Amino acid sequence: RFAMGDWKGAAAAFAQAAQRHDSAAAWNNLAQTLDNLGDRDGARAAVERGIERARKSEPQWLDALQETAQALR
């Protein structure tokens, strides 16, 4: 959905994946999708949650999440 530009569908799918699996990648994707929808506050909240997750157990995603966070400033 993301690749096809279906931002609302992608946001719903990423939100479900992020909440179900607490995945840093899903939080990052959700943040980018929410930003595309114009929801900057939601995007910032998602990227912060992803950064927390990456610091705890998925450090390979930390750089990508920090880049997303920087883009949201």
Task: Tell me the mean pLDDT in the region 41-66.
Answer: 98
Residue 4, pLDDT above cutoff 80 = no
Which pLDDT band holds residue 30 (cuts at 50, 70, 90)?
very high
Q: What is the pLDDT of residues 16-29, one digit of tens each?
A: 999 999 999 999 99
Taking 90 as the threshold, does the pLDDT of residue 5 lie above it?
no
Other CB atoms within a 10 A radius of the CB of residue 7 amount to 18
The secondary structure of residue 4, as a DSSP letter, is T
10 pLDDT higher than 70? yes
Mean pLDDT for all residues in the chain: 94
Are 28 and 50 in contact by the 8 Å Cβ rule? The answer is yes
Q: Which tokens in the block code for residue 36?
A: 């595309």
